[in-house]
Structure formats: C-alpha cells, structure tokens
Amino acid sequence: MSTARAAKIEPLEIITKSGVQVFSVELATTEEEKTTGLMYRKELPEGKGMLFDFSPAEEVSMWMKNTYVSLDMIFIRPDGRILRIAENTEPLSTKIISSRGLAKGVLEVVAGTAKKFGIQPGDRVAHPLFNGR
C-alpha cells in the first residue's frame, strides 16, 4: 500500500464571485502520481488538495477506487476556467467520473469545498499550469 505524496506543493487560487480562495496543492504530474492520486489517505484537510496535470488537454476520466475521503473534483480547461465540478464523490467507488469536455487539470479537494466557497463552472483558477494556452 503506497501513501506516496506528490513531490511538489504549490499555491493555487480560485477566483469566485465572492472572492479568492487559496489552496495548497500537491502536484500530480507523473503517471504514478496521477494513478495513485489521493488513494489510501484517511483525511484531507480543508484548504489542501491535489492538482492533476493532464497536459495537453484531454477528455479526463477519474474514479474513487481506494480513496477513502469524499472529494469535490474540479475539472479545469486549458485557459484556467472551471469546466465542471463533480461534488461529493462516493468513496471507494469505481464509477467513472468524466470531465465531459477537454480538461488540462483536475483539482481534488475535500467534499463540500465547492459549495462552501461558491466555486462554480466558469470561475477562474490561477496556477502556472493554466497560462491561457
């Protein structure tokens, strides 16, 4: 059982209608990091998360296999705008959760975060991964 942490932790901001929310995110860039994601973790503190890099943008499919914490999955377009949010995902489920469009990144945060901060599709994510290309 691997509980490897992604190598890099960086700040990420989401600009919503009600203000800016700042998160501290682990970056998942390698195939191993993206495959493992947040599996086997028993908790994910508020304000923390994992950002998956799917450069170049693609139709992304995620799942909750071996993931014990319910998450909000925020699918992000190459221009940094939020494409879709899958809220309150079901722990340990193998059901596929699709981006339903081209996504360059996926931000996973603890379930309830999107609702709590009013994060919605169309909101902008500020992080070097999304440079408008």
Q: DSSP string spanning 87-106?
A: -SPPTT----EEEEEEEEEE
Per-residue pLDDT at 123: 98
Which are the contacts of 128, defined by CB distance < 8 A and separation ≥ 6?
Answer: 10
Per-residue model confidence as pLDDT tens digits over 59-104: 999 999 999 999 999 999 999 999 999 999 999 999 999 999 999 9
Nearest to 52 by CA among 117, 84, 8: 8
Look at the alpha carbons of 86, 28, 105, 25 in this order and tell me if their dihedral is positive or negative. positive
